[in-house]
Amino acid sequence: PPLPPFASPPPPPPSPSALSQCTALPSPPARAANRRSAGLSMMLAGNLADNWVPDELVKACESCSLKFTFLNRRHHCRFCGHIFCKKCSKTRVALPDEYGYEGPQRVCFACVPIIEGRMRGTGKRRAPGTKRVEPRERQTKDTGVDDMVMLSKIDEKSIVDNLKKRHGCNLIYTYIGHVLISVNPFKPIPDLYSQRTLLDYRGKYPYEMAPHVYALAETMHRLLMSEAESQCVIISGESGAGKTEASKLIMQYIAAVSGRGEDVTRVKDIILDSNPLLEAFGNAKTVRNNNSSRFGKYMEIQFNAAGDPVGGRINNYLLEKSRVVYQHQDERNFHIFYQLLSGISNDLMDEYGVRGSPTPDQFHYLNQSGCYRVDRIDDLNDFNDTVNAMDTMNITTEEQKEIFRFCFAILFLGNIEFNQNEKDESFVSNQDALQTFAHLIRVDPKAAERSLTHRTITTGMGGRGSVYAVPQPIAGAMYSRDALAKSMYSRLFDWIIARVNESMFCEAYNSIVIGVLDIYGFEIFKNNGFEQFCINYVNEKLQQIFIELTLKAEQDEYEREQIQWEHIDYFNNKICCDLIEGKRPMGILTLLDDVCNFPKGDDEKFLAKMSDQFATHAHWTGAGAGALAFTINHYAGDVMYNAEGFVDKNKDLLYDDLVLLAQASQSQFIQQLFPDETGSKKRPTTAGHKIKSSIAELVKALSKCSPHYVRCIKPNNNKAADQFDYQLVEHQARYLALLENVRVRRAGYAYRHPYEKFYFRYRVCSKKTWPSWSGDAKTATEHILNDSQIDPELFRYGVSKIFIRQPEIVFMLEEKREQALYSYAVKIQEFFLVYIGANNYFYQIRVEGNEFVKGKKERRRKSLERPYRVDYIEFKENNIVQSIVERYGDECIEFGDNCLTFDSKAIPHRRVLVLTNEAVYILGVAPRKPPGLKKGEKFDINMVNEFYYGLYRRIALTDIQHISASALADDYLVFHVINQHATVVELRRKTEFFAVLQRQKAVTVNFGNSISFSCKLPKGKKAANQEVSLQFSKSDGGDSKVVLAGKGMWTVAVPSGMPPSSEPIIEQKKATVQKMQMTQAVSPRGAPSSTASAPRGGGGARATSPRPSPGGRGGGRGATSPRPTSQRPTRGG
């Protein structure tokens, strides 16, 4: 097809003389791999090899004429082969599977409608796995920038405008350097989280793909492997901004890219199934979020040296216990209660003694808000998921029955009502609810009533003390009832967390971890109480961590390292954190604990003490005389708190009468939930003290990890799709400090590391520092950067660290390092395959192959004595071949060689045969013509070293009925496939192929000089297949070529060979390997690790499995290599 029209005409193709005069450096192997990858689409779309332009000769974009630099990189269009800049090309355009690409590719804007028109013009459905290519009008729409560091104008309006543009195009993810911004779309977006999308991000660097939470998860997993350092992600934002969904997607990605061993699979199942279980017991509908997390969760996933999860632990914070007994209008209690009423079986209801089919409106703890159903939440299906998750956690059936029984007990406890006599002594007025509650927890009903309506008080000390059972008024009885319900549910939730941790327990205490923090976001309601105060305090601490690590710490480091820097002002919320948690002077929580220590301390005294202490504080304001409220100026805005209930909720008391009632239960399950020691004079720990302690432990755990950030933004308060509230988003962007983050990132350096670590990681990138170096680390760093030809303006030398401005520079160094390491690994592997061990692989393959054909087929002398090496197409370094194979699963390539296949007219076609442990692949191959040739001009194919590949046929080993071969000295094989046409192959190294094939599957091979098979006919014929008879005959003048003798008759004249009984002389090669101490490659104890940090927000290589460069310096994403786990050595290795 003709070239697509360009915005400006492309430059004329270079002449041969121009090629000879070109002084550009030769392309590195990675860039050559890119061109091989991109050429595949041209080969299958038409013969466009003439139009493929070598990137060394193009100095500017062929559309807008923008000159190429190190940062403005070249991008080949995968359809027309010409070179464009990033702005003139489009990413993530899906091409049909037969093009041989793994995932969407980059094409120029002009080719997009041509690709779509070609698909429509065929009148056929698109190939499996392809996506609809968007119209050009959609492609050219202003979608904002992927990274807001690249905004031309830096202010709040530009940031919000960019988020609005991307939200309108369903692009919900945006970067600020290494920080990921996520805008909740409130709707499903097609293919955003599909399995294909997940695989697209596997093994990719952040700059190779569009912003996505999968890219952040891949970066975390890569750094975990390459740095051997723990990673964590802090997910923050308002309630309803999508924090829980982000945490689930991160865990889903980590589970998907990990190994497949039995123990690993078990841990992954627990990690994934913990989500529905904890959501059932810890999430609820609020006015802002239909699935709001009402507790904080920090999940640590432990990994082994191979990068596979082996265990984990969950720490929970601030369960909103008050929701059990009360919900605001249009809210719900925890999901589990509604799931239970929807999914519980009648048999269990009878066993529990619950009559009829109760509904939520019949329970006081569920009917206060008037909300029972939630859009897009199916309580019945969710209940089934919860039960399955319990099975995964090894929670037995009996324990599950006890859990559900306990939940019903809480519901019936809430239905207990009280009345009082003339002495103001309360009693239970509805005995049915009391009887059912007592039956469910297996206690005496009278004991239950006494525990709820009386309070035991002890006076005096020792033998002089007296014990009194004081009757409670109605208010006291209701307080006891609700306190017992909250305590029961809280203890049940803690028990479930403990069982999940028990299921994930791993004794590898020194293992590295990935931590995922998901804690409910900042909340501002009409009535804000103690719970909202605690929640917002935690969010203040998280905001402080973000400021300390991204803004303050970064600027402080520049000053220490004497890097020129213009200070950027930002709001530091430490003053607000000190207001809440301070000790000297006392903060609000310390003051609250002090009030709780006095017997007559109440909410009025607490408010009075705050007024005296904080009257002049800039972030605290009283509500005035007579109002039991106060206001705190948080980083996210002013919040007025109702002080009523602060003292009681902070005391968090559960009377001994209620503890003794639970301990008297005949259920061992309930007894273990209440191990409390009653009668103790020790002052109980307050809720505020517990919160401060747990948050301090959380901050300590986060400080041990390399942090990553997801800042979630809610576009509107109506939970509506395609609605963007500008003022609401602007407010969130302001208190999340996005503007300051952009300024610091734009003026700062993306990567900084000590010279020792930098040298140890990248020493292979310079011949001056590898294989030996005796100088200091700073000088070695200078050699590495100079030899890599990096612009000096893009890095700075500090006192003890190197600072690099752009992460792309580090990505380039990583690719260069991986290439070097991979080449070393291949050489070592090949050496071991040939020389090492009594049973080395190639020796065994040669013995097995010759034994297999001995006495069955004549041999050629050259074939008989040749060495074996399995890989004749360099599949270990061929990213395209590997990506084609990887589409069908985690298969291992065992053999690869060039071959010929034959069509129905016996015409040969050049192909590549690849054998894996699962299938035989026949790949189409075409040479890349040398640049500068005119159309139709011939060239020497032996001088070509680059080819285009595409999948011609895949034959699963289980589908091979048998293979036929002649008994003469020829190279023909016929693959007979069950219920399909056969394939005729001329394969020179057939004996070696037989040996490797038999190791994968015992396929039958028939030897005979007359072979009948079914041949596929071209399209348009009446019949799909044709029966063919292939006859072999011995002839001294034969040329071993297939001749079409007639319809359905092929003949081959084969010259005489050596007798079938011939045996080669096979000598085993041996070599001695001595272990030597490496003085440079292994760092001494106390010295920096041999792995160094990657740039903040991406980069880093998997040192455990070196691989070819993922895309090269100029290539784009077409030849991105598959995940290293699939690039394994041969079986013999």
Residues 845-902 have pLDDT tens digits of 888 999 999 999 999 877 787 888 888 888 877 777 887 887 787 788 899 999 999 9
What pLDDT band is residue 1105 in, cutting at 50, 70 and 90?
very low
Amino acid identity, position 489:
Y
Residue type, 872: Y
Residue in 244, 386, 511, 650 annotated catalytic: 244
Mean pLDDT of 939-951: 70
The pLDDT of residue 728 is: 93
Active-site position among 39, 203, 237, 240: 240
- Mean pLDDT of all residues in 465-474: 82
> Kind and range of the H or E element at 243?
helix 243-257
Question: With contact defined as beta carbons under 8 Å apart, do 213 and 198 qualify?
Answer: no
pLDDT at 1084 > cutoff 70: no
Task: Please give the C-alpha separations between residue 935 and each of 20, 55, 620, in angstroms, as whole numbers.
Answer: 20, 20, 80
Q: Which amino acid is at 645?
A: G
Which of the two residues, 888 and 1118, has the higher pLDDT score?
888
- What pLDDT is recorded for position 56? 59
The residue type found at 576 is C
Nearest to 896 by CA among 872, 920, 876, 930: 872
Average pLDDT in the 639-653 region? 89
pLDDT of res. 901:
94
The DSSP output letter for 550 is I
97 or 238, greater pLDDT: 238
Asked whether the predicted pLDDT for residue 467 surpasses 90, the reply is no
Per-residue confidence (pLDDT) for residue 55, from 0 to 100? 57
What pLDDT is stored for residue 816 in this prediction? 83
* pLDDT (0 to 100) of residue 102: 53
* DSSP symbol at 859: B
289, 490, 503, 850: which one is catalytic?
289
Give the integer Cα–Cα distance in Å for 950 and 39.
Answer: 10
User: What residues pair up with 947 in beta bridges, in sequence order?
Assistant: 927
Confidence of residue 120 (pLDDT cuts 50, 70, 90): very low
Catalytic residue among 197, 239, 642, 964: 239
pLDDT in tens, 1053-1070: 999 889 999 888 777 666
Instruction: Pick the catalytic residue from 34, 286, 292, 490.
Output: 292
- Residue 794, pLDDT score: 80
Q: What phi and psi, each to the nearest 5 degrees, are found at residue 234?
A: -105, 115
**Integer Cα distance of 406 and 806 in angstroms:** 57
Query: With contact defined as beta carbons under 8 Å apart, do 41 and 105 qualify?
Result: yes
Catalytic residue among 62, 238, 449, 523: 523
Give the pLDDT mean for 572-578. Answer: 87
> Stretch 189-218: mean pLDDT, rounded?
88
The pTM of the full predicted model, rounded to 2 decimals, is: 0.63
Cα–Cα dist 742/856, whole Å: 73
Asked if 1105 is an active-site residue, the reply is no
Is 238 among the catalytic positions? no
208 is known as an active-site residue: no
Among 296, 307, 521, 1132, which one carries the catalytic annotation?
521
Of residues 41, 197, 293, 1121, which has the active-site annotation? 293
Give 753's contacts (C-beta < 8 A, 6+ positions apart): 801, 802, 1092, 1093
Residue owning tokens 């390997």: 1073
Q: Mean of the per-residue pLDDT values for the chain?
A: 79
Residue 1005 reports pLDDT greater than 60: yes
Is 521 labeled as catalytic in the residue annotation? yes
Measuring CA to CA, how many Å separate 984 from each of 961, 1029, 1030, 1050, 1055? 14, 12, 10, 11, 20
What six digits make up the tokens of 856? 């069955």
Q: What is the 3-state secondary structure (H, E, C) of 601-646?
A: CCHHHHHHHHHHHHCCCCCEEECCCCCCEEEEEECCEEEEEECCCH
Identify the weakest region by mean pLDDT among 86-95, 255-264, 883-892.
86-95
- Give residue 521's pLDDT: 75
Confidence band for 93, pLDDT divided at 50, 70 and 90: confident
Q: Is 289 a catalytic residue?
A: yes
pLDDT at 54: 56
pLDDT at 1072: 60
Q: How far apart are the first and last CA of the chain?
A: 46
Closest CA to 1100 of 762, 825, 728, 623: 762
- Residue 116 class from Cβ within 10 Å (0-12 exposed, 13-18 middle, 19+ buried)? middle
622 included as an active-site residue: no
Helix (H) or strand (E) holding 936: none
Distances (CA, A) of 813 to 726, 777, 861, 987: 41, 17, 48, 41
Cβ atoms of 1095 and 804 within 8 Å: the answer is yes
Looking up tokens 């020194």 gives: 510
The pLDDT confidence band at residue 168, using thresholds 50, 70 and 90, is: very high
Nearest Cα to Cα of residue 243 among 514, 542, 636, 520: 520
917 noted as active-site residue: no
Measured from the Cβ of residue 100, the count of other Cβ atoms closer than 10 Å reads 26
**Catalytic residue list contains 590:** no
Q: Judge whether residue 1003 has pLDDT over 80.
A: yes
C-alpha pair distances (Å), 324 with each of 223, 534, 1054 = 42, 17, 87
Contacts of 66 (CB under 8 A, 6+ apart): 60, 72, 85, 87
pLDDT at residue 357 is higher than 80 = yes
The tens digit of pLDDT for each residue in 481-520 reads 999 999 999 999 999 999 999 998 887 656 789 999 988 7
